[in-house]
């Protein structure tokens, strides 16, 4: 079997197009645009890139974004005040605090302070609880994006045997909750799992989110499985790269190691996935591309729910 590659940009574009239509309708009804506040503390360079990308996509879809950039020396109390202010402002529909925060700030405390109704990252415990209780919630962007890919690719989830590898709060656990809500039989594996290959190779839908380059190989993949690779790892080992890619792609990857010192790979060996799976999301170019699109969707959802709650 040669796996069909599920390219993230097609689905991301579909979702962004739909959000743009929704934003236009929202503006018509409410006389304002959905508004997203992006809070960034300090000078982490990756964070700067991520926030810039969110600002740009917001603008493309008609969402107003407000970038609150605070100095690295901002105290926890000051940051809490900023969040309280954004919570109380009626014009702000969504609040995203870009992680990581400087180490003198308690991330958990900050994330719990964001109003659950404006928590477009879906990290607030109330939203996590609503997800698991099957109620309306704002759901974490990456696992919500995986569900969008599966549905839009016509992959049936109900009754499927789904295995999630990884139990992080950001991906693994909410992924399990969403798959369960859709009717899959769900297994969560992690570092303490005894025979990972035995469990994973039973999966109709296999989601890898552990953060270890090419951990998942042919031994873990059932013939015809749908393999979703959420991992993003910098790999500098040429030997490993040679087991993962071939032909032109291999040359490009080796070139990247030569020039930048690493190449970006997922948790799944793509050569093995292509050989055994029915569908496979590549890294880069797969799941990662949906994350910002889902953030935009959450912002619109938050705006719509707030306005309909206010008008009751």
Long-range CB pairs of 156-159 (<8 Å, 24+ gap) are 157/182, 157/183, 157/184, 157/205, 158/182, 158/183, 158/184, 159/183, 159/184, 159/185
Query: Does residue 90 carry a catalytic annotation?
Result: no
To a copy of itself, the closest distance from the beta carbon of 109 in angstroms equals 11
Which pairing describes strands 233-235 and 263-265: parallel, antiparallel, or unpaired? antiparallel
Which pairing describes strands 64-70 and 35-41: parallel, antiparallel, or unpaired? parallel
170 closest CA partner among 129, 128, 109: 128
Count the alpha carbons within 13 Å of 72 in the hemisphere toward its beta carbon: 8
225 closest CA partner among 282, 278, 285: 278
Helix intervals (H) in the chain: 8-30, 45-61, 76-88, 107-113, 125-133, 141-152, 172-181, 196-200, 238-244, 247-260, 270-276, 290-310
Q: For residues 113 and 271, which CB has a smaller minimum distance to a copy of itself in the complex?
A: 113
Which string of DSSP letters, residue by residue, matches 177-192? Answer: HHHHHTT-EEEEE-TT
Catalytic site residue from 93, 121, 229, 267: 121
Catalytic site residue from 98, 173, 271, 272: 98
Q: For residues 128 and 265, which CB has a smaller minimum distance to a copy of itself in the complex?
A: 128
Give the length of the chain: 312
Q: For residues 193 and 233, which CB has a smaller minimum distance to a copy of itself in the complex?
A: 193
Q: For residues 107 and 249, which CB has a smaller minimum distance to a copy of itself in the complex?
A: 107
To a copy of itself, the closest distance from the beta carbon of 287 in angstroms equals 21
To a copy of itself, the closest distance from the beta carbon of 157 in angstroms equals 10
To a copy of itself, the closest distance from the beta carbon of 12 in angstroms equals 27
To a copy of itself, the closest distance from the beta carbon of 87 in angstroms equals 16
Which pairing describes strands 35-41 and 233-235: parallel, antiparallel, or unpaired? unpaired
Chain residues in the site for a copy of itself (CB under 8 A): 108, 124-130, 132-135, 158-159, 161, 167, 169, 173, 176-177, 180, 183-190, 192-194, 199
CA dist., res. 241 & res. 38, Å (int): 36
Query: Does residue 121 carry a catalytic annotation?
Result: yes
CA dist., res. 301 & res. 116, Å (int): 13
Q: For residues 196 and 241, which CB has a smaller minimum distance to a copy of itself in the complex?
A: 196
**Token output for 245:** 């890619």
Query: Does residue 98 carry a catalytic annotation?
Result: yes
To a copy of itself, the closest distance from the beta carbon of 292 in angstroms equals 23
Q: For residues 176 and 293, which CB has a smaller minimum distance to a copy of itself in the complex?
A: 176
* Structural contact between residues 19 and 296, judged by C-beta atoms closer than 8 angstroms: yes
**Token output for 119:** 């928590």
Which residues are designated catalytic? 54, 98, 121
């Amino acid at each position: 079997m040669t796996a069909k590659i599920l390219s993230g940009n097609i689905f991301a574009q579909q979702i962004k197009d739909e959000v743009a239509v929704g934003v236009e309708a929202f503006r018509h009804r409410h006389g304002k645009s959905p508004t997203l506040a992006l809070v960034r503390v300090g000078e982490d360079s990756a964070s700067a890139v991520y926030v810039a990308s969110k600002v740009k996509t917001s603008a493309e879809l008609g969402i107003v974004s407000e970038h609150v950039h605070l100095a690295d020396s901002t105290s926890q109390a000051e940051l809490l005040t900023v969040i309280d202010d954004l919570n109380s402002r009626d014009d702000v529909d969504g609040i995203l605090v870009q992680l990581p925060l400087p180490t003198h700030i308690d991330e958990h405390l900050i994330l719990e302070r964001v109003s659950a109704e404006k928590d477009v990252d879906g990290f607030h415990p109330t939203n996590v609880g609503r997800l698991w209780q099957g109620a309306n919630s704002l759901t974490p962007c990456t696992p919500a994006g995986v569900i969008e890919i599966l549905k839009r690719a016509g992959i049936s989830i109900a009754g499927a045997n789904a295995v999630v590898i990884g139990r992080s709060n950001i991906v693994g656990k909410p992924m399990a909750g969403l798959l369960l809500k859709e009717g899959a039989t769900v297994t969560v594996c992690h570092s303490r799992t005894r025979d990972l290959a035995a469990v994973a190779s039973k999966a109709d839908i296999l989601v890898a989110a552990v953060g270890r380059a090419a951990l998942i190989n042919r031994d873990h993949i059932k013939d015809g499985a749908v393999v979703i690779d959420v991992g993003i790892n910098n790999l500098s080992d040429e030997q490993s790269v040679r087991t993962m890619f071939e032909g032109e792609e291999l040359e490009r990857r080796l070139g990247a190691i030569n020039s930048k010192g690493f190449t970006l790979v997922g948790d799944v060996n793509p050569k093995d996935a292509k050989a055994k799976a029915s569908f496979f999301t590549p890294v880069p170019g797969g799941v990662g591309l949906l994350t910002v699109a889902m953030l935009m969707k959450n912002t619109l959802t938050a705006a719509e729910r707030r306005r309909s709650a206010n008008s009751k």
